[in-house]
Structure 1
């Protein structure tokens, strides 16, 4: 079996490894050093272009649980990360150069690998292929992707924070739609005038993230950050996402402003802050959004972010195996699919390779259980019902909920369940 993998980043390197160890002949296509993206500095495989941290190793966190799952599935990226580990408390941080070299050396040790240096400029369905071209996919390939699937690509993230429902003060919140329409689709967080004005003052003076040179100001076009909206006037948000009109409390109360939260998945405890796309620093998001009465003790599963990031409208164009719908051989992996994070990208490459291999071999399609981080993220990518699809990182809020109030115990139970359930999947797909 011959397979092409386009892109030697985290997802592409992981995908190549999974295919190589299963005996496939792999052509790994990487345009560096012939052509660089604005963010890459080396020609090495699996170059980390932002932080050198792969997040927490604590098995009772979602990041740690994902690592446990990837270890069970023999992830090359995870193994090489541990081999290049530097001290960083409870986080898995790596020496960038050693990590990249470890990944590249192991891949090049396979006699069934061919490495081609060139820019891939168009989608091809002639042979099985995984496109793992990353958040800075070249313009010509972006054009080809658009021509192939007829759907627009997104070119920047404009992500609102997600909070854990179990950490919300429900005595200061209520379910309901505007004018009592839509049932319990929204969780409403009211504020009085004094609370709103204090929140407004903090928001307009909060620290924001500096854009990188290659991102430019276009990341804000078409999706205004909540802090920019606030600077247009004290009442602007009250005529936008914090509009109180038609929202009444359980006893008919009227409010000065109302923040609305919406479920990310039907099963989980992750709630999205509607209209709160933001470029505030993470610390400022926790401080300022924590001034909303119901969110004073809130746990943020994902902070808001705005940055350059090319990604597909995956629920519309990819199936649950990361395969392009209506194509014979085209798969995608990595951040271009809408996963967010280093290990999440590696996960998508690992799974896309397994799915492709099993289909080409005529084996039964097997998906990771949704009770695992791998399964929940895969399900989110393929089936997110949000019309404005946004990238997602690992968090327990997208897994089927475990109704336990104690936060520490709840996380432990999520992690134990995911560890047990990934084992069943691993027994089927591992070689």
Structure 2
């Protein structure tokens, strides 16, 4: 007989959060993670749980005007491990929540390993368990044998998209005689650097157009045959793909200069490259929005044409990996159970949610649903007016099953507001309504069993 009650497969954001929620409610968990024992993925570099590979940002932390900030707040109210460790490892990033990635992953790993009801096992699971409560949270880079087993069970091909990784620069190689620190519209993190949370590299029109030309001409990673028709997710669009859409696309996107006064000219530059602090020491800086599939040599040559980065040294260059996810609206029930095998739940990015926060949120819900089921008192879904409920609704039934695509949480997923609410008041109205609807649901969901 197994010495655990629930098997969680995958130690990323979703799996770690699911295991934590279960254990905090007095349920014994076996958490299987292949990194550190049975292999790695094309994107990860360590065996730490909840390793961040694409960015160090949890995006906006504003819970009054932003859907992802509201999701942060709701997860905190439910005792989220991921949010607690993100808060502990926070680095300055204006109104966004960004973290020191190593401190964050170390904190998550330490919490999981030290919990008396969680057994972390470094192993690769290649088949779907035939019985017993199980949560599959293996993420977008699920190992081939398990992915094939999922395909056999669901009878449906997984969709896929490409996710591109942004480069990281050593801070002491940035030329601050050219660059300057500032946050857009001077909106810095309270208690952060008074000069601003971002390093800004200015470009004039000639420099910008030369950069775009070099980007278009740079040597790109070539796809394998099986990758050729894989689409990109809009939230991680490589800069060269954006550049192909028109000469001004980048300076209206990640290179937007609006709200950034260059102290040397008193004016906004024509375009700007922003770097966001990537670790607590401030020694590493992430090139914001610069996900790319350029080959490494081409990246170094091109990025050193950016004013202020002429002598930049890179701690990591950009990369590209293929993400896969299931047709969740067709395959999963409202509590994330696989319809054809209800003892199995799915969680995280493999369900088609997009983003670190969203992945953890679905892991949190899968843990709550499973814990309630084990205790014999099934939990209802969070109200659709909440960020958690809106995201869950998209995954389990709100999306078009034929054209299902990854989605970040956003107010477009929420039930519509009354027509008489003015446009300027709508974001606040969404968040106020969400809090009103979440409060009664929390009574049934957030009180964990206390360990002796």
Which secondary structure state, in structure 2, belongs to the residue aligned with residue 329 of structure 1? strand
| Residue 400 (1) aligns with residue 402 (2) | no
Seen in structure 2, the aligned counterparts of structure 1 residues 223 and 42 have a Cα distance that, compared at 3 Å, is closer
Seen in structure 2, the aligned counterparts of structure 1 residues 218 and 287 have a Cα distance that, compared at 3 Å, is farther
In the TM superposition, what is the alpha-carbon distance from 1:359 to its structure 2 partner? 1.7
In the TM superposition, what is the alpha-carbon distance from 1:83 to its structure 2 partner? 0.3
CA contact under 8 A between 1:215 and 1:308: conserved in structure 2? no
1:344-392: CA deviations, max 9, x gaps? 0000000011111112222133110110111011111111234111111
Seen in structure 2, the aligned counterparts of structure 1 residues 212 and 399 have a Cα distance that, compared at 3 Å, is farther
Structure 2 CA distance for aligned equivalents of residues 83 and 119 of structure 1: 30
TM-score, normalised via structure 1 length: 0.68
Structure 1 CA distance for aligned equivalents of residues 231 and 122 of structure 2: 37
Aligned residue in 2 for 1:40:
44
1:105-148: CA deviations, max 9, x gaps? 11122111111111111111321110100111111111000111
In the TM superposition, what is the alpha-carbon distance from 1:215 to its structure 2 partner? 6.8
In the TM superposition, what is the alpha-carbon distance from 1:408 to its structure 2 partner? 3.5
| Residue 24 (1) aligns with residue 27 (2) | yes
TM-score, normalised via structure 2 length: 0.65
1:254-278: CA deviations, max 9, x gaps? xxxxxxxxxxxxxxxxxxxxxxxx9
1:188-247: CA deviations, max 9, x gaps? xxxxxxxxxxxxxxxx98978x99969757544166999xxxxxxxxxxxxxxxxxxxxx
| RMSD of equivalent CA atoms | 3.2
| Residue 390 (1) aligns with residue 405 (2) | yes
1:284 aligned residue (208, 231, 249): 249
| Residue 11 (1) aligns with residue 1 (2) | no
In the TM superposition, what is the alpha-carbon distance from 1:58 to its structure 2 partner? 1.0
2:336 aligned residue (299, 322, 335): 322
In the TM superposition, what is the alpha-carbon distance from 1:320 to its structure 2 partner? 1.0
Structure 1 CA distance for aligned equivalents of residues 445 and 219 of structure 2: 41
CA contact under 8 A between 2:161 and 2:230: conserved in structure 1? no
Structure 1 unpaired stretches of 5+:
159-203, 227-277, 289-304
Aligned residue in 2 for 1:149:
154
In the TM superposition, what is the alpha-carbon distance from 1:33 to its structure 2 partner? 1.5
Task: Please give the residue correspondences for 1:136-285 in structure 2 after superposition, counting only pairs within 5 Å.
Answer: 136-156=141-161, 218-221=226-229, 279-280=241-242, 284=249
| Residue 58 (1) aligns with residue 62 (2) | yes
Aligned residue in 2 for 1:165:
none
Which secondary structure state, in structure 1, belongs to the residue aligned with residue 381 of structure 2? coil
In the TM superposition, what is the alpha-carbon distance from 1:407 to its structure 2 partner? 3.7
2:427 aligned residue (411, 414, 429): 411
Aligned residue in 2 for 1:121:
126
| Residue 352 (1) aligns with residue 366 (2) | yes
Structure 2 unpaired stretches of 5+:
164-211, 235-239, 254-291, 293-319, 448-452
Structure 1 CA distance for aligned equivalents of residues 223 and 387 of structure 2: 30
Aligned residue in 1 for 2:443:
427
Structure 1 CA distance for aligned equivalents of residues 100 and 413 of structure 2: 31
Seen in structure 2, the aligned counterparts of structure 1 residues 411 and 329 have a Cα distance that, compared at 3 Å, is same
- Number of residue equivalences: 320
